[in-house]
Chains A and B, each alone.
Chain A
């Protein structure tokens, strides 16, 4: 087993996927904590479909995919976050409308542009080994933005997430926060789409936090544990997909490991709660 892992290690694409994936999973878990707790869980899913539409449009128009997808998704993320924060649009319904529309538009564009495009199929279902060296650099840039910001602004992030009106009253610039969250979320999703695909991306954002919440009652604890769960589940799912005889689709395997981790955490949390109620 070690041997086959070592032989994989020789392949550059394996290393790009591994490092890129760890960084994206880490950023997604951290951003996911505030998104989930502010009730924006579906935004990851919606954004990735919007990204799919943008990529399809880019490939039909024959322009650099990322150059279209990144600005479109930052704009969409900002509008969705702000819209649901102001209660102007019923969050879940708006996301569902937007994401199905963009998915359909992407499919139609792809079809008109000359049938199924391999690259677009990769975006839909994920193909972790399509991460290029450039993607890895993007992931490193993303992580070196998100991690220091998260560390420096941790207490403010907590305050805004827990109680926005109060946070604003103590002078936190909630608007700037929303913008930063939108940009980081959009970038994380653009990169994460390669790992698990458009259809499963929200898993990277949502699962680690939901799992951590079952077994810990402090914000600090949940932040750390969800980061650990996000990275751990990525690694486990990735290695499983590589080692399984005949191989497994890596994206689906990562999601499956996350789902298993969630069940374990939910079970453990329930047992602890029953014990406590018993006393």
Chain B
């Protein structure tokens, strides 16, 4: 078991978003989180990362896993159109959690970042400015950054939102490689039924009514 959520409640002020939620994430599995806008998917992810406090219940991390060791792809940030940063610089920033206070990256860390780029098939983009990349390429760079931060668990908040079919397919292939070749578990927030069918081992459904949530196994024949 990588992560266990026990009777978790999440709220903003008096408004409860999620009530008494319990589930686990196991090694190497893919848990898809679905639900309408405002059902608390992003809030749940931020709580699992330790960025937000739960009002009750707890998040128990499995052995050897810390908040810092979870890879995170935030919901499409309002990416600044002109931010100067190379794809390589962005990917390497995923290593920060494990680097400590050492002000430079070791060869092994650089290699690790380059390998993450290889898994996402973006080695040829490493020296390109992030701002010049297409939306799909940017998303794969951010996925590589998240992948650098973890060896066991990725939290992805709507990674394919706003991408065209071809870019979404490339991203899906990346997710498959991450799971099958690298054995990393994924908690995937998505609105796309095709994504769910393709990746999910289990599905967590949240709803705007905080007490109504449901977790189900996907049976593949």
Q: How far is the CA of A158 from the CA of B149 in the complex (A)?
A: 16
Closest chain A CB from B105 CB (angstroms): 8
How many B residues are at the interface, by size bracket? 35 or more
Contact B68 A170 (CB under 8 A): yes
A267 at the interface (CB under 8 A from B): no
From the candidates B80, B85, B94, name the one contacting A170 in the complex (CB within 8 A): B94
Q: Which B residues touch A156, using CB under 8 A?
A: 96
B145 at the interface (CB under 8 A from A): yes
Residues of B at the A interface (CB closer than 8 Å) are 46, 49-51, 67-68, 70, 72, 74, 77, 80, 82-86, 89-90, 92-94, 96-97, 99, 101, 103, 105, 128-132, 145-146, 149
A-B contacts, CB under 8 A, total: 86
A216 at the interface (CB under 8 A from B): yes
Contact A169 B67 (CB under 8 A): yes
18 contacting pairs across A/B (C-beta < 8 A) = A37-B80, A155-B96, A155-B99, A163-B74, A165-B72, A165-B74, A166-B93, A166-B145, A169-B49, A169-B51, A169-B68, A169-B149, A217-B86, A217-B128, A217-B132, A218-B86, A218-B89, A219-B84
Given contacts A155-B92, A167-B93, A171-B67, 19 further A-B contacts (CB under 8 A): A152-B101, A152-B103, A154-B103, A155-B103, A156-B96, A163-B77, A163-B93, A165-B46, A165-B74, A165-B77, A166-B72, A169-B68, A170-B93, A170-B97, A171-B97, A217-B85, A217-B129, A218-B85, A220-B89
Q: Which B residues touch A154, using CB under 8 A?
A: 103
Closest chain B CB from A114 CB (angstroms): 48
Q: How far is the CA of A220 from the CA of B86 in the complex (A)?
A: 9
Q: Which B residues touch A169, using CB under 8 A?
A: 49-51, 67-68, 70, 72, 149
Contact A155 B93 (CB under 8 A): yes
Q: Which B residues touch A216, using CB under 8 A?
A: 84
A168 at the interface (CB under 8 A from B): yes
A222 at the interface (CB under 8 A from B): yes
Contact A218 B97 (CB under 8 A): no
